[in-house]
Amino acid sequence: MLVTVKLFATFRTGRFDVAQQEHPAGTTVGGIVDALGIPRSEIGILMVSGRHVDLELQPAPGDTISIFPLVGGG
The helix/strand/coil state of 67 is strand
Minimal distance, residue 71 CB to other proteins, in Å: 4
The pairing of strands 64-69 and 2-7 is parallel
Beta bridge partners of 47: 52, 66
Minimal distance, residue 36 CB to other proteins, in Å: 17
Nearer to other proteins, 35 or 52 (CB): 52
Nearer to other proteins, 26 or 64 (CB): 64
The helix/strand/coil state of 74 is coil
Minimal distance, residue 18 CB to other proteins, in Å: 9
Alpha helix (H) ranges present in 1-74? 29-35
Residues that bind other proteins (CB under 8 A): 6, 8-10, 12, 17, 42, 44-45, 47, 49-52, 66, 68-74
